[in-house]
Amino acid sequence: MNNQEKYTRLIKQCSANLGFHYCGTSKAVKLDDDARRLESWLQQGFHGAMQYMENYFDLRIDPCKLVPGAKSVITLLLNYFPSEQQNNTALKISKYAYGKDYHQVIREKLNMLLQFIKQNIGDVNGRGFVDSAPVLERSWATRSGAGWIGRNGNLITKQQGSYFFIATLIVDLDLMYDDTFAKDYCGTCRKCIDSCPTNAILDNKVINGSRCISYFTIELKDAIIPDEMKGKFENWMFGCDICQDVCPWNRFSKPNNEIAFKPIPEILNLSTAEWENLSEEAFKNIFKDSPLKRTKFKGIQRNLKFIKTQSQ
């Protein structure tokens, strides 16, 4: 066994011990094709008010600009499919936000993995990234053999569907590389496209982010949600899982084992009236470690009012 194979096995074993259900590796190269697709997406304005998507373009497509001398990109998947679901009367919240903020959870795991690499392999330079960083993690995931990009824009795996977070670790270390996942198992299925109430999913694996319910309920910082969206949110107050819920591949989803992702009781059980009567102080206390704090109390109140107008 050569060093590349030995190091790769060590890293994959450590990632499994840390709770990641997939670890794949790919060669650190400039993503020229992805650069063209990203540029086209931005030019069409599909990012809406998410101006940060225009920043650090060069960093997004070239791992060597993020980690000097980068040689390998390690892709890790962490399952977040919950064991418990919201009750039928609750306003809908995306499953990824049921528990603790995944950024905190994953960053800790990435730091532990990098520390393991330094202790067991040598003086390796690297940086870990979760989705808030300028990294095209889905592209690296397909290059690392994890799965394919579905019509809904999500990475889909044959083993567990798409309910997982993607993390990326870029290192200046040569490794054995996995084969790119070249097949597309969506076939002729259009369930995600036909089920999207805002027509955000185009028929070419392109998402018009500026029409996505998640965009309106999380990313949009304006005080007013456009009137044209009234009656289309289907009670989604934070995020949206429609395109994943209808995906046939998610019949293979299994509940996660991550304690930090245990659902906050209020997310599962609060009624519309209880959400409306929730004070800002209570919101900050209950959701201090939750992804919901990203929208802030004012954002949640705005979303509540908009959803309420749908039934009037």
Q: What is the DSSP letter of 29?
A: -
Residue 88, number of CB atoms within 10 A of its CB: 5
d(CA 7, CA 178) in angstroms, rounded, equals: 14
d(CA 23, CA 7) in angstroms, rounded, equals: 13
Give how far Cα 54 sits from Cα of 27, 99, 114, 220, 281, Å: 25, 30, 29, 16, 35
Question: Kind of pairing, strands 126-129 and 92-93?
Answer: unpaired
Question: Kind of pairing, strands 92-93 and 236-238?
Answer: parallel
d(CA 117, CA 111) in angstroms, rounded, equals: 10
Q: What is the DSSP letter of 250?
A: G
Strand-pair partners of 157? 161
Is 194 an annotated catalytic residue?
Answer: no
Half-sphere exposure of 72 (CA within 13 A, CB side): 21
Q: Which of 32, 58, 62, 131 is catalytic?
A: 131
Catalytic positions, written as ranges: 131
